[in-house]
Amino acid sequence: MENKLKNCQELLRFITCGSVDDGKSTLIGRLLLDSRSVLADQWAAIEATSTRRGQSQVDLSLLTDGLQAEREQGITIDVAYRYFSTPARRFIIADTPGHAQYTRNMVTGASTADLAILLLDARKGVVEQTRRHAQIVRLLGIRKVVIAVNKMDLVAYGQEAFERVKQEFLNFAEPLDFRDIVFIPLSALNGDGVVLHGGHMPWYTGPTLLELLETVVLDEEILNSSFRFPIQLVTRLSEENGEERRGAQGRVESGTVAVGDEVLLLPSGRTSRVSAIETYAGRISQARAGQSITLVLADQIDMSRGDMIASVAHPPRTDKNFEALVCWFSHTPYDPERRLLVQQTTRCIQGKIDTVSARLDIQTSQLVPSPAQVAMNDLVHMGFKVQQPLAFDRYEDNRTTGSFILIDALTHDTVAAGMIV
Amino acid sequence: MKGESGSMKSTQAATFTPLTSSGGGAWAPWDHLDRLESEAIHILREVVAQCVRPVLLFSGGKDSMVLLHLARKAFHPQRIPFPLMHVDTGHNFPEVITFRDQVVKSLGVNLIVRSVEESIRQGRARVRFESDSRNALQAVTLVDAIHEFGFDACLGGARRDEEKARAKERIFSFRDEFGGWDPKNQRPELWDLYNAHVHPGENMRVFPISNWTEADVWEYIARERLDLPSLYFAHRREVVARGDQWIPVTPLTQPKVGEHVEERWVRFRTVGDMTCTCPVPSEARTLEDILRETVTSTLTERGATRTDDQTSEASMELRKKQGYF
Ligand SMILES: Nc1nc2c(ncn2[C@@H]2O[C@H](COP(=O)(O)OP(=O)(O)OP(=O)(O)O)[C@@H](O)[C@H]2O)c(=O)[nH]1
Ligand SMILES: [Mg+2]
């Protein structure tokens, strides 16, 4: 227990995904249980529920399936977030639903993850939802993927079954071009391969799932990429030398910034210098990705929410037109008559879809040109035109400035999410 | 809040040590509390930018103290650009109300108080007995107040690690005109893009410290030297043992026949309705002691202290569907 007090700084955010009933929630339950992150009252509650239902073993999925409807139906409907830490790292887990109807909730969980655990049932291998989730994981730019071949207990912990499923996945995933895939055989139900090796799979010599999660190399990409600072609010600061000063409040989304840096204000295209970086605690000389600060520019140029302050040397693109891969969430198919709002960084403006050039076929991973309609869960390539210029990067280069959501102007629903290409 | 200029500034400066002083591009001073703080500030600013009439729900408890402190940081050097509101059950521990009023006075912020007592008087909320928990009734008073003032966003200090139903909730959580939460149909919430659009009568509940754990909250309170109501720290109190819990002896919670009143060292892990909030045995008198107890505790915050959440696994979800926070 003592080492829990130690300040472990590193954070890994990961999701579990894969088809319905492949064992995602059970796996999270097992991971929490075997890493001693389940408290006595939480255990008592799920034990009581399991007993009441006449289950012979405590149902570990009850640790995350927190909604009544989930417990009744034995499926996950929406993402559950769980927090735990080991002496090595802090973790935020998002347990996502496998059911196709709730794909948008899986996407919600995946959008902030650094790593994805994609589960496969050792008996069933790759099924439709496995393909869909793999595609989404790829589109969302999650670079690190663990393929957990689960329910090994149901195939007598056999190596052939594992190898067969592994090969099947590799064949399917080849065109997806994942950079970093690891395969682990496990039994979420019994615990083999999750935190402990267990004694059933001597042929498997790789790391357990937890060992992997604790050691996978995290990238510092957002620190090293170009400086981006979307303005959330503009505030009045105290006067200095009789001059009124205004500050741009926001969060450094990527890169770093220092007093004296020359910066670009977009979309106006004017340049200025950073004259101060203010925080509640006082002035600082530089700030890094992730930090919420107030930036003061040397010139009194007009700026407002939705503008972006960026690196002069490596500016983002500024344009009214762009192309994106879009995941359609709404139950209602895309209808050109409905007014849409595009929300990207801190800017929310009217926009319209100019072209729907292709749809991704989940089975074949191929783009099919000119789809007849865009319906729920479709992944499509679209061209956009917006009312005012946006400052953006390709999603591949910058997850924050390259992403956006589409809001129905009438209903206010979030109908889609897009990644700029 | 303690250490207004002196101590707080010095702690902070150490946290934001500039790149050059640590050398070689090592940004070591950036730790998990900085990350959580920065995320919360980002969320608070989004609320003010996107919503017309936000309000911060303030009880004087530890989570709302953290939230208030974050709001000061987010909008500094300007004042906090929204009022605070307390939905008073009339069953609060007096220490907490005194503390609440002190904080409000010292910061010069505007506090709106709406009382469940009043809702009961008006017949809008009903109880069987005076000593029934009023936690569930808070929803009625809250939803009425939201409509009275036209609030379109209510900021709250709820955390996902508190309870299984909360673990499912978005950071920007949409509520219909009745204040109800529809857990089967939440808005997708991707990246850090928050859709706060609502129609008149609807509102958002926003939880800037969703991703904080109980331990994070205590660590942050210790780091920032925030003041708290005295009952969070170990003190002698009259209690009776009932089931697994120690029930505090108060005007509303009297010992039952055969129960034996004893005075013990206890502290509260949450402060809420007197009729359903219990202290835990503890001798932790400093923040550091509390932190040590928190990370080694074998019970969750609610499991150890709330009697109302124990009736069923779905109590929290049910109340949220009815407009509870
Ligand atoms: N035999 C065996 N059964 C398992 C294993 N893991 C999970 N199960 C069972 O598979 C069923 C589904 O498990 P869940 O964890 O709810 O599946 P899920 O992937 O979270 O399902 P959704 O969230 O609804 O997509 C349950 O009955 C589990 O007990 C395993 O390793 N072996
Ligand atoms: Mg599940």
Task: Report pLDDT digits (tens) over A318-354.
Answer: 999 999 999 999 999 999 999 999 999 999 999 999 9
Q: CA A186 to CA A150: how far, in whole Å?
A: 5
Rounded to a whole number of angstroms, the distance from the CA of B250 to the nearest CA of chain A is 26
Residue A90 domain flag = yes
Q: CA A409 to CA A399: how far, in whole Å?
A: 25
Residue B7 has a pLDDT of 33
User: Are residue A37 and residue A151 in the same domain, yes or no?
Assistant: yes
In this prediction, residues A41-50 reach a mean pLDDT of 86
Residue B247 has a pLDDT of 83
Question: A222 vs A21, A137, A300, CA distance in Å?
Answer: 35, 19, 29
In this prediction, residues B253-272 reach a mean pLDDT of 85
- Residues in chain B with CB shorter than 8 Å from the CB of A40 are 298-299, 303
pTM of the model: 0.91
pLDDT, one tens digit per residue, over B204-228 is 999 999 999 999 999 999 999 999 9
Q: How confident is the model at residue A314 (pLDDT cuts 50, 70, 90)?
A: very high
User: Whole domain around residue A344: which residue ranges?
Assistant: 317-420
Contact B78 A412 (CB under 8 A): no
Residue A320 has a pLDDT of 97
Please say if the pLDDT value at position A307 is more than 80: yes
Residue B26 has a pLDDT of 41
CA nearest A109: which of A11, A15, A213? A15
Contact B197 A305 (CB under 8 A): no
User: Are residue A227 and residue A188 in the same domain, yes or no?
Assistant: no
Please say if the pLDDT value at position A303 is more than 90: yes
Please say if the pLDDT value at position A3 is more than 70: no
Residue B14 has a pLDDT of 29
Q: How confident is the model at residue B315 (pLDDT cuts 50, 70, 90)?
A: confident
User: Are residue A301 and residue A204 in the same domain, yes or no?
Assistant: no
Ligand 2 centroid – CA A15 distance (Å): 11
Length of chain A: 421
User: What beta strand segments (E) does B159-219 contain?
Assistant: 172-175, 203-206
Residues with CB under 6 A from ligand 1: A 20-26, 61, 75-76, 97-99, 150-151, 153-154, 187-189
Give the 3-state DSSP-derived string for chain A, with helices as H, strands as E and coil as C: CHHHHCCCCCEEEEEEEECCCCCHHHHHHHHHHHCCCCCHHHHHHHHHHHHHCCCCCCCHHHHCCCCHHHHHHCCCCCCEEEEEECCCCEEEEEECCCCHHHHHHHHHHHCCCCEEEEEEECCCECCHHHHHHHHHHHHCCCCEEEEEEECHHHHCCCHHHHHHHHHHHHHHHHHHCCCEEEEEECCCCCCECCCECCCCCCCCCCCCHHHHHHHCCCCCHHHHCCCEEEEEEEEEEEEECCEEEEEEEEECCECEEECCCEEEEECCCEEEEEEEEEECCEEECEEECCCEEEEEECCCCCCCCCCEEEECCCCCEEEEEEEEEEEECCCCCCCCCCCEEEEECCEEEEEEEEEEEEEECCCCCCEEECCCCCCCCCEEEEEEEEEEEEEECCCCCCCCCCEEEEEECCCCCEEEEEEEC
- Torsions phi, psi of A33, nearest 5? -65, -50
User: Are residue A177 and residue A274 in the same domain, yes or no?
Assistant: no
Contact A281 B16 (CB under 8 A): yes
Crossing angle of the two packed helices B94-107 and B62-75, in degrees rounded to 10: 10
Domain count across chain A = 3
The answer to whether B45 and B76 have CB atoms below 8 angstroms apart is: no
Q: What is the ipTM of this complex?
A: 0.94
Q: Which of A43-52, A247-256, B129-138 has the highest mean pLDDT?
A: A247-256
Q: List the beta bridge partners of residue B241.
A: B246
In this prediction, residues A286-315 reach a mean pLDDT of 95
Q: How confident is the model at residue B4 (pLDDT cuts 50, 70, 90)?
A: very low
Residue A338 domain flag = yes
User: What beta strand segments (E) does B53-202 contain?
Assistant: 54-57, 84-88, 111-115, 153-155, 172-175
Q: Is A293 exposed, middle or buried (0-12, 13-18, 19+ CB in 10 A)?
A: buried
The residue among B113 and A6 whose pLDDT is bigger is B113
State which residue of chain B sits closest to A410, comparing Cα positions: B199
> pLDDT averaged over chain B?
83
pLDDT, one tens digit per residue, over B134-167 is 666 788 889 899 999 999 999 999 999 988 889 9
The residue among B197 and B299 whose pLDDT is bigger is B197
Beta carbons within 8 Å of B74's beta carbon, 6+ residues apart: A249, A292, B40, B41, B44, B45, B48
Residue B321 has a pLDDT of 79
The domain boundary, picked from A262, A291, A311, lies at A311
The residue among B301 and A284 whose pLDDT is bigger is A284
What is the percent of chain B where pLDDT is above 70?
84
Please say if the pLDDT value at position B319 is more than 80: no
* Residue pointed to by tokens 């009297």: B254
Residue from B9, B15, B170, B193 to probe the interface with A (highest A Cβ count within 10 Å) = B193
Ligand 1: nearest atom to the Cα of A70? 24
User: Are residue A44 and residue A101 in the same domain, yes or no?
Assistant: yes
Please say if the pLDDT value at position A56 is more than 60: yes
Residue A66 has a pLDDT of 83
Please say if the pLDDT value at position B24 is more than 90: no
Residue A2 domain flag = no
The residue among A76 and B320 whose pLDDT is bigger is A76
Please say if the pLDDT value at position B21 is more than 70: no
Contact A1 B296 (CB under 8 A): yes
Q: Mutation test of ligand 1: which of A15, A17, A21 has the most ligand atoms closer than 8 Å to its C-beta? A: A21
Residue B259 has a pLDDT of 84
Residue B18 has a pLDDT of 32
Which of the listed CATH numbers 3.40.50.970, 3.30.1360.40, 3.40.50.300, 3.40.50.620 matches domain B32-215+314-321?
Answer: 3.40.50.620
Residue B172 has a pLDDT of 97
- Residues in chain B with CB shorter than 8 Å from the CB of A250 are 42, 45
User: Are residue A214 and residue A297 in the same domain, yes or no?
Assistant: no
Nearest CA to ligand 1 atom 13: A23
Please say if the pLDDT value at position A189 is more than 60: yes
Ligand 1 centroid – CA A36 distance (Å): 20
User: Are residue A168 and residue A236 in the same domain, yes or no?
Assistant: no
Residue B11 has a pLDDT of 30
The answer to whether B232 and B271 have CB atoms below 8 angstroms apart is: yes
- Element (DSSP H or E) covering residue B39: helix B32-50
- Residues in chain A with CB shorter than 8 Å from the CB of B16 are 279, 281, 284, 291
Contact A235 B77 (CB under 8 A): yes
Residue A114 has a pLDDT of 93
Residue B292 has a pLDDT of 87
Residue B48 has a pLDDT of 98
Task: Provide the residue ranges of all domains of chain B, joining segments of one domain with +.
Answer: 32-215+314-321, 228-310
Residue A247 domain flag = yes
Please say if the pLDDT value at position A45 is more than 80: yes
Residue A3 domain flag = no
Q: What is the CATH number of the domain that holds A25?
A: 3.40.50.300
Please say if the pLDDT value at position B125 is more than 80: no
CB atoms within 10 A of CB A16: 31
Residue A309 has a pLDDT of 98
Residue A354 has a pLDDT of 93
What is the percent of chain A where pLDDT is above 90?
76
Q: How confident is the model at residue A5 (pLDDT cuts 50, 70, 90)?
A: very low
CA angle, A157 as apex, A152 and A162 as ends, to 5°? 70
Residue B92 has a pLDDT of 85
> pLDDT averaged over chain A?
92
Ligand 1 centroid – CA A123 distance (Å): 13
The domain boundary, picked from A218, A247, A278, lies at A218
SS3 B235: strand
User: Are residue A271 and residue A338 in the same domain, yes or no?
Assistant: no
Contact A292 B187 (CB under 8 A): no
Q: What is the CATH number of the domain that holds A349?
A: 2.40.30.10
pLDDT, one tens digit per residue, over B229-254 is 999 999 998 888 888 788 888 887 78
The domain boundary, picked from A287, A311, A335, lies at A311
pLDDT, one tens digit per residue, over B56-93 is 999 999 999 999 999 999 999 999 999 999 998 888 88
